[in-house]
Amino acid sequence: MHLLTIADFSREEIDRLLKMAETVKARHKKGIPHRPLMGKTLGLIFEKSSTRTRVSFETAMYHLGGDAIFISQRDSQIGRGEPIKDTARVMSRYVDAIAIRTYGHEIIEEYAKYSTVPVINGLTDLHHPCQVLADVLTIVEKKGTYEGMKVSWIGDGNNMANSWIEAAMRLGFELILACPKGYWPHAEILKRAKAQGSNITVTENIEEAVKNADVLNTDVWASMGQEEEAEKRMRAFDGYQINSKVLGLAKKDAIVMHCLPAHRGEEITEEVLEGPNSVVWDEAENRLHIQKAILEWLLVESSR
């Protein structure tokens, strides 16, 4: 079993992952060791930069009694053009799971096709499932449940937005995305979610998206790989910012989330990011706990 997108899991499986993450987090806080992955190794193949994803996956493996090996494109044969289908089969003979961060989603699909061990998506241009699962864990911690929540997304219809759409599709909460014209989420992903009766709206209107929201969410205007478009995007996204005025339209106890890294003064103001409604540091921490649950699930539970 692989984790390439949130849609790979059923609602029951996501609920189970959230429960497992709560348990491993509580144990970790009490200092109780939990080492179900002794003797197991995670390989990380990253073609884009990362702080949170890399460190949280490596730390998760160490806490669970296993090991992690980081492979950058630069100093492996991947960067010299060894085919993915060969790399995937060779890696599968050494490691017990592979976490991948890359560009096109078809690249990770190719890895998954040829790998005989679980492949985990650590971000592609199309999806960022581990981050959104950590975000849902954070909502459950702060709000008690994801059920009945109004979640709003302000800004780019990017990989994060697509994974949020799949989370809303599986879990049934209300999702409303405010994105400028031309920067809406992936049409097929949206269409499939809507076809399944999901409560998802896309609008250009920020007020409509944030009115009475329980959760406000945003991300950078130019993602990794879009550096050349940054100036054009800066103009297109002008106004698509979470600031105090926008926060004021949401519920009083709304939480503000950002997967980080953040560009203060662009998609979010310093005041809101550092303010009392922001949960971004807990959100970042939860990457560690949800990924421990994902690793245990893929390496132990689902192979039983």
Q: Which residues bind ligand CP (CB under 6 A)?
A: 50-53, 123, 131, 259-260
Shortest distance (Å) from residue 219 CB to ligand NVA: 5
In the list ligand CP, ligand NVA, none, the entry touching 159 (Cβ below 5 to 8 angstroms by class) is ligand NVA
- The residue (of 124 and 241) whose beta carbon lies closer to ligand CP is 124
Shortest distance (Å) from residue 171 CB to ligand CP: 20
226 is catalytic: no
Sign for the CA dihedral angle at 140, 142, 148, 149 comes to negative
258 is catalytic: no
Do the bridges between strand 97-101 and strand 41-46 make them parallel or antiparallel, or are there none, so unpaired?
A: parallel
Which parts of this chain interact with ligand NVA (CB under 6 A)? 123, 158-160, 219-220, 223-224, 259
Buried-state track 17-46, b at ≥16 Cβ within 10 A, e below 16: bbebbbebbeeeeeeeeeeebeebbbbbbb
130 is catalytic: no
170 is catalytic: no
Residue of minimal Cβ distance to ligand NVA: 223
In the list ligand CP, ligand NVA, none, the entry touching 223 (Cβ below 5 to 8 angstroms by class) is ligand NVA
Instruction: List, as one string, the DSSP characters of 235-277.
Output: HHTTT--B-HHHHHHS-TT-EEEE-S---BTTTB-HHHHTSTT
CA dist 239 and 206 (Å) reads 9
Shortest distance (Å) from residue 59 CB to ligand NVA: 17
- The residue (of 40 and 258) whose beta carbon lies closer to ligand CP is 258
Shortest distance (Å) from residue 124 CB to ligand CP: 12
Tokens of 80: 């010299």
Round the CA-based radius of gyration of the chain to a whole number and report it: 19
